[in-house]
Amino acid sequence: MRHDYRPYPFRAQPDRLSAYRRRAHRALFLAYARRHGGQFILRIEDTDVERSTQAAIDAILDGMRWLGLDWDEGPFHQMQRLDRYREVAEQLIAAGHAYWCYASKEELDAMREAQRARGEKPRYDGAGGRKTPPQDAAARRQAGAALPQSDLGHGAWTDLVKGHIEFDNGELDDLVILRADGVPTYNFGVIVDDLDMGITHVIRGDDHVNNTPRQINMLRALGAPLPQYAHLSMILGDDGQKLSKRHGAVSVMQYDEDGFLPAAVINYLARLGWSHGDAEIFSVAQFCEWFDLDHITPSAAQFNTDKLLWLNQHYLKGADTTDLAAEVARRLRARSVATAPGPRSRAWWNSTRNGWRR
């Protein structure tokens, strides 16, 4: 069993990963891989070069390390695999499953604008594939690639959380798989990565359900085995609204700044949308031992800040005094506050901790 986690770095919010939703799913990925003796693979989807930065990638890695979510392989970067994506696109074209698109950016923009003017949802109409290829080899090299889907009939898969799901390919447009600059589209990039890395389980939010038919079509065109899919319900914020990058997003490391312990955060995230009887407090090791998809909650879970604070208090009370003193010293140093270890600081810490116990 091989499972991957594939965060997408953003320049505007470098360490915000769709708020708790992605962090909670990240914990589930690791637990599922560990319980079944599998491997947890980290991939960085950095194909949006205008928004992806090294600072954003570093923030992702820092957040994972702080939470104690260790990966077995990677991180692998999509921008370092462009030749491989083009190789697979050419393979699909040679087999008659896809075609080169020779439409210019201006032509594609005009096509979308005309569709909007008619009140239609913008979609690729395949016109670029009907154009005569340019004579110049360099110009041909700049073509994009697309895969027709509308004539593939009906399809289906059995989701490990949602059950049997059917789809009608007649409702899908030709899927662009490779842009003119050689960068893969999201759906194409991830299925090539999944295939090359032997991914067996794709566990993700149910906002990706609509991507699954497209990914299944591409894998079948390649004659590749399908992974097992599990789509988890979204997580709502305290206000009942869906969490996203733009609503309710909180930096992973902000919780460190606010005094939360990683054990408390990962414990809370694990319980969002999953349960093991009445157990509320458990270690990462117990979580990995207990976790299975059968006890995933199909309905959306709601984030509760008060419960996270309660869990954090529990972990603070039970933590080793020396470790907590070191944490306090680290935070003080980060704020340029001088610290001097000694009996007085230890006595103060013990007194403070006894106050928590009362």
State the catalytic residues.
245
Measured distance CA(143)–CA(177) in Å, rounded:
11
Strand partners, 99: 146
Q: What is the largest CA-CA distance in the chain?
A: 82
What are the strands, taking DSSP E only, across the chain? 2-5, 39-44, 73-77, 99-101, 144-147, 154-159, 163-168, 175-178, 201-205, 228-232, 235-236, 301-302
Q: CB-based burial of residue 19 (10 Å sphere; 0-12 exposed, 13-18 middle, 19+ buried)?
A: buried
- Which residue, among 155, 196, 180, 157, has the nearest Cα to 43 in the 3D structure? 196
Strand partners, 144: 101
Give the count of beta carbons closer than 10 Å to the beta carbon of residue 23. Answer: 24
Q: In this structure, what token pair is assigned to residue 145? A: 């690639």
Give the SS3 label for residue 247: coil
DSSP string, 119-164: TPPP---SGGGGSPPPSSHHHHHT-EEEE--TTS-EEEEEETTTEE
Strand partners, 101: 144
Measured distance CA(67)–CA(60) in Å, rounded:
11
Strand partners, 210: none
Measured distance CA(227)–CA(310) in Å, rounded:
38
